[in-house]
């Protein structure tokens, strides 16, 4: 009998906690996946014998480095940067870079772990990674951001490459930052390759990459609602966040006939009972562009809207919820409130925005619930398409890419249904479906490689 046969879920998680002291987010992410995988592999001896889950929960490597830069006053600042390369079993490492003061090794390990399953679910050949730094872009000048990005890449360039590891954007890293990092990579290596995605269109970027995560989340929601005999037109959504993912999710939801009632940032949320239409979304896009304005300014511009300092939008009655800001922003109590107020579906645009209690509430209430690893995979999918275009040195048309995104989201949805349908197909547990479908492809590749 294999060693791991003696270990139950709690024993496994206790081991993960012991080996990763103080890394609560990472342990949380592993637990969320492990509970479904333990059930799935109960009768599959080969996965036990090869310690597959234990190996996926141990990153291939964690690179940590110093990032020095000079601010506009000439003072030297020191930050810490990381790249967590979790698994390249099914393709080159792939995952975003996050610049935010809350970034820690634990947060990046959780994100790289999740990314491994997400990328597998897309059906494209991409492994899982994540990187970032505890750098706060808020209040920094363009020159400061440029110097930071250059310094960050001066170390990172050794660890990445078009066939090795292909980073992209995430919180605090948009097109501007990707441009600065790509420029520095090119300068150091003298190579023009597809080493990053989310690039500008002039230098190898793909159309609809910017929109893809938010749009993809709403396409996923659309698929879930359709299966449940529902549809977006006439539905009211609460959206959290006001960054890339939130604003594009809001845009697509409005385009498909729904009404968006809220947006938020780290200061609080705004509630606009009149609905945040495309013109208002455009206004927020301008507000949140390079000057990184505050969402509370919305109420000065649009009468009838209210700002709720320090709050999150989950108390506003709605039909669907789209958490699109950050991890653990929707708790068990929030989930109960949403269910009590009639929310029938949740699609996570952010990574792990719902904590374990919240997920439990939704699963118990049979709320239609899409975890981020499935619902927000549109962004990395179009990144995968950007890699293909770079390799072939071509650029696909926007309408073709839009269709590919819709098809990929449908494929992810159907893979979740395949492994997540319960109660004779009456309810789809998308968390379970995403975990198992994502795991299986990576696990089978690992079995083929033997013990490496
Ligand atoms: P942005 O930086 O564009 O926006 C992040 C938004 O979340 C901002 O409104 C920000 O507010 C808010 N926010 C950040 N931290 C907190 C916090 N601690 N509490 C409350 N609000 C917070 O990032 P993205 O939109 O790109 O990313 C959002 C989420 O989506 C993340 O979880 C990311 O990992 C995930 N994601 C992103 C993808 C992408 O393609 N960009 C792909 C897949 C997932 P403020 O302005 O105050 O900072």
Domain around 185: 61-193
Query: What Rg, from alpha-carbon coordinates, does the chain have?
Result: 21
The total number of structural domains that make up the chain: 3
Pocket test for ligand 1, best of 325, 383, 386 (most atoms within 8 A of CB): 325
Q: Decide: helix, strand or coil at residue 434.
A: helix
Q: Are both 37 and 153 inside the same structural domain?
A: no
Q: Which residue, 111, 94, 96, 87, is CA-closest to 166?
A: 94
Q: Are residues 49 and 71 in the same domain?
A: no
Asked, for residue 379, whether it belongs to a domain, the answer is no
Does the pLDDT value for residue 1 go beyond 70? no
Task: Judge if 364 and 220 occupy the same domain.
Answer: yes
Whether residue 172 has its Cβ less than 6 Å from ligand 1 = yes
Q: To test the ligand 1 pocket, which listed residue (84, 245, 295) has its Cβ within 8 A of the most ligand atoms? A: 245
What is the Å distance from ligand 1's center to 307 Cα? 19
CATH number reported for the structural domain that contains residue 161 in this entry: 3.40.50.10860
CB atoms within 10 A of CB 425: 9
Tokens representing 179 are: 């441009």
- Rounded to an integer, what is the distance from CA 225 to the centroid of its chain? 21
| Distance separating alpha carbons of residues 25 and 105, to the nearest angstrom | 10
Nearest CA-CA partner of 114 in 418, 413, 438: 438
Q: Which tokens sit at 174? A: 């948009």
pLDDT digits (tens, 9 = 90+) for 271-311: 999 999 999 999 999 999 866 799 999 999 999 999 999 99
pTM exceeds 0.75 for this model: yes
Which has the closest alpha carbon to 86: 119, 108, 59, 62? 59
Residue 188 sits in the same domain as residue 230: no
Q: What is the pLDDT of residue 290?
A: 65
Residues 253 and 157 in one domain: no
Q: Note the Cα 167 to chain centre separation in Å.
A: 13
Q: What is the SS3 assignment for 299-358?
A: HHHCCCCEEEECCCHHHCCCCEEEECCCCCCECHHHHHHHHHCCCCEEECCCCCCECHHH
Q: Are 174 and 221 members of one domain?
A: no
Each residue of 336-351: pLDDT tens digit?
A: 999 999 999 999 999 9
Q: From the CB of residue 304, how many other CB atoms can be counted at a distance below 10 Å?
A: 9
Does any domain span residue 198? no
| 426 falls within a domain | no
Check if 177 has its Cβ closer than 6 Å to any atom of ligand 1.
no
Confidence category of residue 5, pLDDT binned at 50, 70, 90: very low
> Do 79 and 171 fall within a single domain?
yes
Res 3 pLDDT > 70: no
Would 294 be classed as within a structural domain?
yes
Report whether 437 contacts 90 (CB < 8 A).
Answer: no
Task: Decide: 376 in ligand 1 pocket, CB within 6 A.
Answer: yes
Query: Mind telling me the catalytic residues?
Result: 130
For residue 200, which of 187, 216, 181 has the smallest C-alpha distance? 181
165 and 309 fall within a common domain:
no
The CB of 265 under 6 Å from ligand 1? The reply is: yes
Cα separations (Å) of 17 from 192, 245, 332, 351?
42, 31, 22, 21
Torsion sign (Cα): 153, 159, 163, 166: negative
Pairing of strands 236-240, 259-265: parallel
Structure tokens belonging to residue 230: 């529902």
Q: Which one, of 114, 145, 136, lies nearest residue 33 by Cα?
A: 114
Which CATH number is 271's domain given? 3.40.50.720
Q: Is the residue at 420 inside a domain?
A: no
Q: What is the pLDDT of residues 153-167, one digit of tens each?
A: 999 999 999 999 999
Pairing assessment for the beta strands 93-99 and 128-133 based on DSSP bridges: parallel
The DSSP line for 246-288 is HHHHHHHHHHTT-EEEEEEETTEEEE-TT---HHHHHHHHHHT
Per-residue pLDDT tens for 162-200?
A: 999 999 999 999 999 999 999 999 999 999 999 999 999
Strand 93-99: give its sheet, edge to edge.
61-70, 76-87, 128-133, 93-99, 165-168
Q: Are residues 230 and 285 in the same domain?
A: yes
Q: Are both 23 and 67 inside the same structural domain?
A: no
Give 211-234 pLDDT, tens digit per residue: 999 999 999 999 999 999 999 999
What average pLDDT does this structure show over 82-93?
98
Q: How far is the CA of 340 from the centre of ligand 1 (A)?
A: 27
Q: Is the backbone of residue 196 left (phi > 0), alpha (psi -120 to 50) or beta?
A: beta
Take residue 327 and report the two structure tokens written for it: 């991890």
DSSP secondary structure letter of residue 137: -
The verdict on the CB of residue 371 being under 6 Å from ligand 1 is: no
Q: Is the same domain home to 23 and 143?
A: no
Residue with CA nearest ligand 1 atom 42: 379
C-alpha–C-alpha distance, residues 285 and 307, integer Å: 18
What is the spatial distance between Cα 419 and Cα 432, in angstroms, rounded to a whole number? 7
Nearest C-alpha to atom 31 of ligand 1 is from which residue?
350
Q: Whose CA is nearest to atom 27 of ligand 1?
A: 171
Q: pLDDT at position 189, please?
A: 98
Q: What is the pLDDT of residue 291?
A: 65
Query: 8 vs 262, which has greater pLDDT?
Result: 262
Half-sphere exposure of 63 (CA within 13 A, CB side): 15
- CB distance 295 to ligand 1 below 6 Å: no
* Whether the CB of 244 sits within 6 Å of ligand 1: yes
Q: Helix 105-121 crosses helix 430-449 at what angle (to 10 degrees)?
A: 90
pLDDT of residue 247: 98
Q: Which two tokens stand for residue 27?
A: 């342990």
Q: Tell me, what DSSP letter sits at residue 296?
A: G
Residue 155 neighbours by CB distance under 10 Å = 16
* CA 267 – ligand 1 centroid, Å: 13
């Amino acid at each position: 009998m294999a060693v791991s046969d003696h270990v139950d879920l709690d024993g496994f998680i206790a081991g993960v906690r012991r080996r990763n002291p103080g890394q609560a987010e990472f342990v949380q992410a592993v637990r969320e996946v492990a509970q479904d995988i333990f059930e799935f592999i109960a009768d599959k001896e080969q996965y036990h014998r090869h310690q597959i889950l234990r190996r996926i929960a141990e990153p291939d490597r964690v690179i940590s480095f110093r990032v020095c830069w000079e601010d506009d006053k000439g003072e030297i600042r020191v930050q810490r940067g990381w790249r967590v390369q979790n698994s390249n079993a099914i393709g080159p490492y792939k995952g975003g870079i996050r610049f935010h003061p809350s970034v820690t090794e634990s947060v990046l390990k959780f994100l790289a772990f999740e990314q491994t399953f997400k990328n597998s679910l897309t059906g494209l050949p991409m492994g899982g990674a994540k990187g970032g730094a505890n750098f706060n872009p808020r209040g920094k000048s363009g020159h400061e951001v440029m110097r930071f990005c250059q310094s960050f890449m001066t170390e990172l360039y050794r660890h990445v490459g078009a066939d090795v590891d292909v980073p992209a954007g995430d919180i605090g890293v948009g097109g501007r930052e990707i441009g600065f990092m790509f420029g520095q990579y090119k300068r150091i290596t003298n190579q023009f390759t597809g080493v990053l995605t989310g690039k500008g269109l002039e230098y190898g970027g793909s159309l609809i990459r910017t929109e893809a995560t938010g749009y993809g989340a709403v396409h996923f929601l659309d698929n879930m609602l359709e299966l449940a005999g529902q549809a977006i037109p006439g539905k009211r959504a609460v959206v959290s966040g006001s960054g890339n993912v939130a604003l594009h999710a809001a845009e697509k939801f409005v385009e498909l006939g729904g009404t968006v009632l809220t947006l938020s940032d780290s200061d609080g949320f705004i509630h606009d009972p009149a609905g945040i239409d495309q013109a208002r979304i455009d206004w927020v896009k301008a507000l949140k562009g390079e000057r990184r304005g505050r969402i509370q300014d919305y109420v000065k511009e649009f009468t009838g809207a209210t700002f709720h300092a320090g709050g999150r939008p989950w108390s506003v009655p709605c039909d669907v919820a789209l958490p699109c800001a950050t991890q653990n922003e929707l708790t068990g109590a929030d989930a109960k409130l949403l269910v009590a107020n009639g929310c029938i579906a949740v699609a996570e645009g952010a990574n792990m925005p719902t904590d374990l209690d919240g997920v439990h509430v939704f699963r118990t209430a049979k709320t239609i619930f899409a975890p981020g690893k499935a619902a927000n995979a549109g962004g990395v999918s179009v990144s995968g398409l950007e890699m293909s275009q770079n390799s072939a040195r071509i650029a696909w048309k926007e309408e073709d890419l839009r269709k590919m995104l819709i098809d990929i989201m449908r494929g992810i949805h159907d893979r979740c249904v395949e492994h997540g349908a319960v109660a004779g197909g009456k309810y789809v547990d998308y968390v379970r479906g995403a975990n198992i479908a994502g795991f299986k492809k990576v696990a089978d590749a690992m079995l083929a490689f033997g013990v490496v």
